[in-house]
Amino acid sequence: MGTDISSIKITKTENSKINQVDFDNIPFGKVFADHMFVMDYEDGEWKNFEIKPFQDLTFSPAISSLHYGQSIFEGMKAYRKNGKTYTFRAKDNFERLNKSAERMCMPHIPNQLVKDALEQLLTIDKEWIPENETNSLYVRPFMFATDEYVGIRPSSTYKFIIFCCPVGNYYTEPLRVKIESHYTRAANGGVGEAKAAGNYAASLYPAKLANEQGYHQLLWTDSNEHKYIEESGTMNVMFVIDGKLITPSLSGTILPGITRKSVIEIVKSWGIEVEERKIEVTEVLEAIKNGTLEEAFGAGTAATIAQIQTIGHNGTDYELPSIPERKISNRVLKFLNELKRGQEEDKWGWIETF
Q: Are β-strands 304-313 and 293-300 bridged in parallel, bridged antiparallel, or unpaired? A: antiparallel
Contact 220, 184 (CB under 8 A): yes
* 64 forms part of the interface with ligand COI (CB under 6 A): no
CA-CA distance, 181 to 199, in Å (whole number)?
17
- Minimal distance, residue 199 CB to ligand COI, in Å: 10
* 217 forms part of the interface with ligand COI (CB under 6 A): no
- Minimal distance, residue 303 CB to ligand COI, in Å: 6
Cβ closer to ligand COI: 240 or 305?
A: 305
- Minimal distance, residue 301 CB to ligand COI, in Å: 4
Cβ closer to ligand COI: 149 or 200?
A: 200
Q: Is 179 exposed, middle or buried (0-12, 13-18, 19+ CB in 10 A)?
A: buried
Query: What 8-state DSSP symbol labels residue 196?
Result: B
Cβ closer to ligand COI: 72 or 287?
A: 72
- Minimal distance, residue 282 CB to ligand COI, in Å: 28
CA-CA distance, 113 to 36, in Å (whole number)?
15
Cβ closer to ligand COI: 195 or 313?
A: 195
Cβ closer to ligand COI: 69 or 75?
A: 75
Characterize 208-228 residue by residue with b for buried, 16 or more Cβ atoms within 10 angstroms of its Cβ, and e for exposed: eebeeeebbbbbbbbbeebeb
Site map (CB under 6 A) of ligand COI, residues 66-95, x = contact? ---------x--------------------
Considering only residues 221-240, where is the footprint of ligand COI by CB under 6 A?
A: 234
Considering only residues 276-335, where is the footprint of ligand COI by CB under 6 A?
A: 300-303
- Minimal distance, residue 165 CB to ligand COI, in Å: 10
- Interface with ligand COI: number of residues (CB under 6 A): 6
Contact 49, 170 (CB under 8 A): no
For 90-115, give the secondary structure using H, E and C: HHHHHHHHHHHHHHCCCCCCCHHHHH
Binding site for ligand COI (CB under 6 A): 75, 234, 300-303
